[in-house]
Structure 1
């Protein structure tokens, strides 16, 4: 028998599947995240190669092809795929991590997918079958709608409240500001600010605050709801630019997948639906809860 390997590599985790000639999954494996933008190229490659070698031991008959669907610098992953080709992993190719969720959203037809998890991006397949990508600049330069963006905006709002409380003891803190203090274990503005600027673990803590922000927004915390609305609105502006460019004067609606734990949350989904109606997007929103690795499996079937 011959086998293929599919990889969904992101910042949080790296998921691998081994499929047989019929496309059935015969083995799965999880490894740490391998985004080179977060870990550096050497560590990212080491995590990937180690995981590949481990799952290859379960391929009794050899691997003919490996498909890498990876977050981070596409040139780096293209070079990595070229270096690995011809080894125990068969012919190796690399695509953006947007391709599996685009496959889940449109099944190869024209349309697009909006994704927001730890990071965010927009991927689209135009009527001429060309594939386009927007956003995904990373936490330093943007990614509105992402976990990091939600966390960053919410922390800024909470810090301003804590700052004001330094000068007036009569200020009642919002649930968002209290949640930040609970999240960091720090009760005042000065030390919270120092933590986020000086602690090496602070970046991870910023993104980790996003689920709490969404929870507060779902329970009518006005400050959290405004943070979600602002972040998703900026993301929708990016999506609107893609839609206007690729689907101008569209008379029939195209599928628009909505992927990732942020956009599939109730507060974010409410904002996105409202904006889609207001902007008159020629799309049908389809909220996707299927894991991206299933999109990887579908892409492997086409290799």
Structure 2
């Protein structure tokens, strides 16, 4: 039986946190957009602050129903530590029954609609999620930026910055003959950090406490350069997507071993939906003979949250 009243859904990722308020008919009546709330990136206190601020913004949109809380259900689909989010959810009041789940579930819902299939996601972080015929959900990847999520913004940024740093490292020292023109990737690094040489960039990237965000933020520029036929940038995208595809290949052959069964495979996130990453993924899927039908998802994960709320 579906719950009456309003429902709240939250999709909390590394770059942004989307909040939606849904009425009894399943229509979105209010939205709020906050910054990324992954506690592994922003810390537990800041993650909790972002969640509470977004929930307060939605509740301010509620009509005065003469009841302590017209919200019957709240779903939190969050990146980062599941125990942290369960503990946080247990402390929340006046937003109905609160349940938590990983941020993979909304995009898996968009990819398969509750049917067997899988989704590859790459934004700030990356993962592979799958639902088998018995309804069980399986998850692979999502190890976080310190351990390098293949295909993610951080992974693209890290790989590209390493190539650019090696170029700067080989540049002539001060007082030597003028250096040759830097490659587009090295120029992009200097523009991104505002620093002109190897030593300064290296110190910054190793000592800045927010360096992980700086590295991830370089990924859009890498994708732009790849679209502009920058060879090193194209190689970075291909290498990163290949590592994510290897993980997906393991999941596919373990959970969907029949070569005759065409299962839906969603492709989600701003990285994989870019032209160079999509080209690399399609080529790899054909080469590896995946028994899947690739579907590139353009809807926001918040739409997946809305669909899950409709089933509650």
Provide the TM-score with structure 1 as the length reference. 0.96
SS in 2 for 1:165: coil
Task: Give yes or no for the alignment of 1:74 onto 2:82.
Answer: yes
Deviations 1:82-131 (A, max 9, x none): 332xx210000001000000000001110000000011011110122110
Q: Who is 1:212 aligned against? A: 221
1:257-294 deviation digits (Å, cap 9, x = unpaired): 00001000000011100100011100011011100000
**Hey, what's the Cα distance between the residues in 1 that align with 2:247 and 2:309?**
29
Pairs within 5 Å for 1:36-115: 36-60=39-63, 61=65, 62-84=70-92, 87-115=93-121
1:29 aligns with 2:37: no
* Structure 1, unaligned runs of 5 or more: none
The equivalent position to 1:197 in structure 2, one of 206, 214, 239, is: 206
Task: Indicate conservation of the 8 Å contact 1:103/1:295, yes or no.
Answer: yes
**For this pair of structures, how many residues does the alignment match?**
301
**Alpha-carbon distance in structure 2 between the residues aligned to 1:259 and 1:138:** 17
- Give the Cα separation in 2 of the matches to 1:166 and 1:189: 11
For 2:231, the equivalent position in structure 1 comes to 222
Shift of 1:188: 1.1
Report how far residue 53 of structure 1 moved.
Answer: 2.3
Partner-residue secondary structure (3-state), 2:151: coil
How many Å separate the matches in 2 of 1:14 and 1:261? 15
The alpha-carbon distance between structure 1 residues 238 and 169, as it changes in their structure 2 partners (threshold 3 A), is: farther
Q: Secondary structure at the match of 1:285?
A: strand
Paired position in structure 1 for 2:170: 164
CA distance in 1, matches of 2:248, 2:148: 14
- Paired residues of 1:56 and 1:88 also in contact (CA < 8 A): no
Shift of 1:151: 0.4
Distance in 2 (alpha carbons) for counterparts of 1:179 and 1:52: 38
Give the drift of 1:171.
4.6
Residue among 229, 236, 242 paired with 1:233 = 242
Shift of 1:48: 0.8
Q: Comparing 161-170 with 67-76, which one deviates more in the overlay?
A: 161-170
Counterpart check, 1:5 vs 2:11: no
Shift of 1:170: 5.4
Distance 1:79 1:56 in 2: 21
Q: Distance in 1 between matches of 2:220 and 2:34?
A: 23
Q: 2:282 aligns to what? A: 273
Compute the displacement of 1:28 (Å).
0.9
